[in-house]
Amino acid sequence: MKRDYYEVLGVARDAGTDELKKAYRKLAMELHPDRNPGNKEAEEKFKEAAEAYSVLSDPEKRKVYDQFGHAGLGGAGGGGGQQFQFDPSQFADFEDILGSFFGGGLFGDLFGGGRRRSTGEERGSDLQYNLRIGFKDAIFGQEAMELSIPRLEACDTCHGSGCEAGSRPETCPQCRGQGQVAVRQGFFQMLAPCPRCEGRGRFIPKPCKACGGEGRVHRKTKVGFRIPAGVDRGTRLRLQGQGEAGRFGGRAGDLYIVFDVEPDPAYERDGSDLHRRLDVSWPLLVLGGTLPVETPYGADKVKVAPGTPADHVVKLVNAGVPRLQGGGRGDLYLHLRAAVPKTLTAEQRELLEQLRRSLDGEAAGESEEGFLSKVFGGSEKNGKKKRK
């Protein structure tokens, strides 16, 4: 005996669309063949739930079912003949658990293919090419780039049709051009791809000799493109129609160039911002002055105010990387760090000692908190130790 569809899904007779969806999703997850390997009962229940959902989620079928029950859906033959046909598009919301219907997937495995194909053409595959570029090329971009890409291209001899000159594809006699044939599976009648024409609906009586009837051949071709200014590691550039040609004259796929960017010893990149560490003499920080700096756009000068802290950050607006989206550029952050000389000449040492005595004298009574801690904000442990 067939169970009531509402009972199968565990919903009330007035359940709304969302409620149906929810109930079906829960069941499909529970009874999923991946979770119940080899469990025939679970598989049958899984199919039962799919059938129930496909009826109740279709307003027309639901109306008939509500009025006449299972008998109403039994097909023109009536008499309890359990004919049943799925419309895979009703399950499009469940692709995350069931897999893709039109490309086969779990649904296709259990119920037979749901491939929808009206012509014999097939879109070609997308291709991916990983390209490593220099740090500066990523910032400034590069015109007139060229890559040699091995790929399948439309056959010149037959112009992609796969047919010998003077011949043309013929309608498949087995499926009468539908590309699908009805297959019985238990009480289901499912549509499966036609075995004779592989679902294309047509076949090639005289295949082209150059491509064996595929309509495409292997070739290595130079593809031109430009690197936009501002690409980053992982940026994908899509070159439409530069992927592989489709079989039997189908549309070509796309070529994706995925960038990797060489690091630069001077800069650290964070999106469209750049960071650069700079060692500067501490008298410059103390006294102030002008600091010459290099940016990706050339030499520049930065004004350093007197009494600048030892870990100061200077922001050079618009000196970063161009933004791929939104325009403009990021900023360049200069992380200034006081350089402490390791060796000194006798003269420099004398001058420093003089300076220290002078500064220590100024701060009378703070013998431990000497000149170095003034300059370095009290964090210079070495300075303290030496003076003990």
211 binds Zn ion per the rule CB under 5 A: yes
Number of C-beta neighbours around residue 56 at 10 A: 23
204 binds Zn ion per the rule CB under 5 A: no
Are 314 and 301 a contacting pair, CB within 8 Å?
Answer: no
56 binds Zn ion per the rule CB under 5 A: no
172 binds Zn ion per the rule CB under 5 A: yes
**Beta strand segments in 74-187, E:** 127-133, 142-154, 170-171, 180-185
Number of C-beta neighbours around residue 194 at 10 A: 23
Choosing from 3, 13, 196, 349, the residue that interacts with Zn ion (CB under 5 A) is: 196
Quote the crossing angle between the two packed helices 17-30 and 40-56, to the nearest 10°: 170
- For residue 245, the minimal CB distance to Zn ion (Å) is 11
Residues flagged as binding site? 155, 158, 172, 175, 194, 197, 208, 211
Inter-residue long-range contacts of 207-211, CB under 8 Å, 24+ positions, other chains counted: 207/162, 207/163, 207/164, 208/155, 208/157, 208/158, 208/161, 208/162, 208/163, 208/164, 209/157, 209/164, 210/155, 210/156, 210/157, 210/158, 211/155, 211/157, 211/158, 211/162
321 binds Zn ion per the rule CB under 5 A: no
Choosing from 49, 73, 138, 194, the residue that interacts with Zn ion (CB under 5 A) is: 194
174 binds Zn ion per the rule CB under 5 A: yes
Coil vs helix vs strand at 40? helix
Q: Which is nearer to Zn ion, 162 or 296 (CB)?
A: 162
| # chain residues binding Zn ion, by CB under 5 A | 12
Which region among 54-62, 66-74, 182-190, 200-208 touches Zn ion (by CB under 5 A)? 200-208
- For residue 254, the minimal CB distance to Zn ion (Å) is 23
Q: How many residues does the chain have?
A: 388
How is residue 123 annotated by DSSP?
A: P
Q: Which is nearer to Zn ion, 155 or 285 (CB)?
A: 155
Q: Which is nearer to Zn ion, 23 or 158 (CB)?
A: 158
Residues flagged as binding site for Zn(2+)? 155, 158, 172, 175, 194, 197, 208, 211
175 binds Zn ion per the rule CB under 5 A: yes
Per CB under 5 A, residues contacting Zn ion are 155, 157-158, 172, 174-175, 194, 196-197, 208, 210-211
